[in-house]
Chains A and B, each alone.
Chain A
């Protein structure tokens, strides 16, 4: 058997893997990543110097960095040490949840577009635009209201404004792709730069907070920011936002799997020509998918502004790009995005704990984080490739689809697409 055949076999097995198998594969990848990371930490620990007391000893060899401590901090420390006494959700746990919440939205944004066969690399830009719009909108509206009423009105208003502007910004590459056949990868990347540049100009000049040396807007009043509930106030986290994110996970899942709009999106993603032949308005689907994707990115921006930093500041962290990885990790499945975002959020939270608790340089922690994500994402990535490559050789696979997903995977939605029209609307 040649190497090529063997590779094709492995791909085919991956594609056919059941949900349980996929979870097992992911767990095995995680263990493997930790094993490789352990070796890296040990080697790095031999390459620096440290005092004898601060070193750890394995098999009578001293190492400067302790892999057990590093991974303990990276995972358990990230969650605020749930297995030690005195665990409080208000500590590091809130930070992990905060990052998870933001990544849910950027991950959903990317997944939405990917399912439609659109490579939206522009979630970052849509998030930036949505964030600035949410900040300015809320600032504009905040003098009219105050107190609890203010919170009840202003926070949803901010999210709505973020969603609208993020969506509009997402529609630009959508229109360009649908009506001018511009490659969306290029346009979205370019639009990221434009979003960053224009917002930097706006907050360093027109909307700048005169009292701050940083390029930022005036801080939002307290009542216009996401309220913390039960815990999380010290870490800028609100349980409401996380719940909102979880609701959106299911909402997007429902939209994609159980509505006619979702059916159009999925079929266009898998076989655009066939979808169009089957009566799907390709241009309309592209534009609306992009708008929905951009809106989700815009909500992420709005949450970053109203929950995390309480104003818009130039230099928004790369949640949008992380969203691409989150989405791939989740196999572009909205429900999977929740788990992938959680893994990512824990890793992001853990990075700061490791840096604080050990002498391991942040660059090495970044490498460990990258290893874990790479290892966990690769099986899914090869599955995606396999699904694209294999049907061409084996025609029976292409036939065996049901509503854009292979039958084996879509047991849950077996009643879905054909009567999806019943549940109706094109929108959420």
Chain B
């Protein structure tokens, strides 16, 4: 092919390609879709009416979102936070902008950009993830007039609202469920448990005090259900390494574990794969993973949901209502519905009612303060 015909063909292909693209600006603003890359819930379409009101009115609440490294599309933590903002956009008519840092040093950059911005002026900057703590400590001091909210950690400043979760409480419930099921001859979906071993597994991401809360709660719950239960633990060192998750889970299943709980972000995908291969069960985390990872719904008994969206939504709502309270720590536990056990989408009906009843009883006991769940695995 000589050069001239090459240019012609490329040009033609380019033009047809451009013309063929169906996107571009909407003709009459009928619908706008948000860029929810990982959104697979059914609640993220906004209607034109709200969109126009948000853009025309001057006093719209503007919210800046600074996500954790890993960005949107992780199917758990960041996407969950985005859900909260999207919900606030629908219900409260706010508008939000997003920043996805990929390095720790960028947290401060984005926090400052949101805080400095005057067009629009951001009424609240949501900082997602504990790695932002140090950056926010400095930024909140430099911009005392700016409201911030922080998820999963605490910055002691009058303009920062801190939201932490009682992950150990929710983990206790899934641990109890697992402890009860492991000694039964239980089979549902693609998995089964055998009564001859009382072994469970826990796969963590990067080892740290936060993930240890999940482990501690899970172990405590399992022990409460059955004193003889043994929990195998493995930290893969990454939140984004499905191969390592699979390897860790396979080793546990081969050592007699029936059910493996993971708190390891995308690494957990490997845990689900291992469960399917071995015909055993797994427990999801952060979101209802039997829905978000529906191809593994036949092995996911339940998920320990952590409603980061609630934290984001509540903080935005408080700003809209002009009731923003900085300096405080809001702990979202079972009582506040910040964490909870959600049974698997397709396996829920198969789980014995007696198990569900016992879990529900512990839930009440924890809410009432009758049961104290440890936050450190060494205290179990």
Contacts and interface: CB of A to CB of B under 8 A. Distances in A.
Interface of A: 39, 42-43, 45-55, 61-64, 95, 197, 200, 204, 212-215, 219, 234-236, 308-311, 313-315, 317, 352-353, 355-356, 359, 361-362
Contacts of B105: 236, 308-309, 317
B99 A355 contact: yes
Interface stretch (B17-25, B78-86, B174-182, B273-281): B17-25
Contact of A352 (B18, B28, B33, B113): B113
B106 A352 contact: yes
A169 B210 CA distance: 32
6 contacts: A50-B32, A52-B26, A204-B207, A213-B209, A309-B134, A352-B113
B25 A62 contact: yes
Given A49-B24, A352-B109, A215 B208 contact: yes
A197 B238 CA distance: 11
B110 A213 contact: no
A51 B210 contact: no
Contacts of B133: 212-214
Contacts of A54: 25
Contacts of A314: 206
B134 A219 contact: yes
Interface in B219-266: 237
A37 to B, nearest CB: 14
Nearest first, the 7 closest Cβ-Cβ pairs linking A and B are A55-B25, A46-B21, A62-B25, A317-B103, A213-B130, A52-B25, A47-B23
**What interface size band does chain B fall in?**
35 or more
B102 interface: yes
- Most chain B beta-carbon contacts within 10 A, residue among A213, A215, A314, A353: A213
Contact of B26 (A51, A236, A311): A51
B55 interface: yes
B14 interface: yes
Contact of B24 (A39, A62, A215, A355): A62
A311 B152 CA distance: 21
Contacts of A51: 25-26, 29, 32, 51, 55
Contacts of B101: 352
A55 B23 CA distance: 11
Contact of A52 (B27, B103, B112): B27
Given A213-B208, A317-B105, A356 B18 contact: no
Contact of A95 (B22, B23, B104, B109): B109
A197 B21 contact: no
Contacts of B207: 204, 215
B118 to A, nearest CB: 12
Contacts of A352: 99, 101, 106, 109-110, 113
B357 to A, nearest CB: 35
A418 B34 CA distance: 67
Given A46-B18, A213-B208, A236-B105, 13 more contacts: A50-B26, A51-B29, A61-B18, A64-B25, A204-B206, A213-B210, A214-B130, A214-B134, A235-B108, A311-B134, A315-B104, A356-B99, A359-B35
A356 B113 contact: yes
Nearest to B206: A215
Contacts of A235: 108-109
B16 to A, nearest CB: 12
B29 A52 contact: yes
A316 to B, nearest CB: 9
A241 to B, nearest CB: 14
B292 interface: no
A124 to B, nearest CB: 13
B346 interface: no
Contacts of A55: 24-25
Interface string B265-292: 0000000000000000000000000000
B100 A64 contact: no
B110 to A, nearest CB: 7
A61 B210 contact: no
B112 A234 contact: yes
B329 interface: no
